[in-house]
Amino acid sequence: MPDDFWRDLAPEPGEPKRDPRTAAREALTPELPKRFYERASAEPHERGFALHLDGRPARTPGKRPLVAPSRGAGEALAAEWEAQGERIDPKTMPLTRLLNVAIDAVGAAMEPVAEEVVKYSGSDLVCYRAGEPDKLVAAQAEAWDPVLAFARERYAARFLLAEGVMFVEQPREALEAVAARVSRETSPFALAALNVMTTLTGSALIALAVADAALSAEDAWEAAHVDELHQERVWGADAIATERREARRREFEAAALLYREAG
């Protein structure tokens, strides 16, 4: 730990005493970069719409053009940059982060990323049900049974249910059906978005339901958090947990938007 860290915890003579937790948090939090541009815009590009800052093309961390696949996604990207204040905060820019990953990483790793989505379906959230209380059992059924019906009707994929956390091995045919659907994704933008929707919800089936317009992004997010929402109704909401969930929700919405615009 650098010496400056400890000096921050102990004030110089004559300085007011500081809360050590605040000092520690500040010492471990990197300073955000200053905003260095006045205007962000989405400009036509051979691969879609590129982000321009004060008329100059922006680039990803991998030094590639920061491009969105459509005008709608490009304008949403530019809006994230326009909304920044004196400092640029990456936590408030989920679409930017997702596009960086799609461009710099997913394009060169399509098969492993697709395999990760399929792997989630082998232990999908919607297959693991509570045995009690009755209200939670009913809430899970209401939110998740339509997702399973969608997979059965759209992909001929029949999944097995389990009570509690005991692992249940899913039929090979069901997993192959999901793999066949995911293999149709040829755009790194769409696959990156599908992967993010899957990991954020813990459910490849919920993500695919959004991708195939069987669920809205809002309904999908609510379905993925049935358990948390039930606990909040029983015990009350925790401010920190709610804030974290809202941050993940913004990432999910960015992924749903990118998937829709990449099609």
pLDDT in tens, 45-104: 999 999 999 999 999 999 999 999 999 999 999 999 999 999 999 999 999 999 999 999
154-189 pLDDT tens trace: 999 999 999 988 999 999 999 999 999 999 999 999
- The residues facing 57 across adjacent strands are 52
Q: What is the pLDDT of residue 165?
A: 85
What six digits make up the tokens of 246? 């809202």
Show me where the domains of the chain are located: 40-104, 107-262
The Cα 212–Cα 260 span in angstroms is 9
| Per-residue pLDDT tens digits for 215-259 | 999 999 999 999 999 999 889 988 999 999 999 999 999 999 999
Query: 133: cis peptide before it, omega within 30°?
Result: yes
Residue 19 has pLDDT above 90, yes or no: no
CATH number belonging to domain 107-262: 1.10.3580.10
The pLDDT value given to residue 263: 77
Decide: 200 and 255 in contact? Cβ < 8 Å: yes
Distance between CA atoms of 209 and 148, rounded to whole angstroms? 10
Topology at the third CATH level for domain 40-104:
ATP12-like (3.30.2180)
112 Cβ contact list (under 8 Å, min separation 6):
none
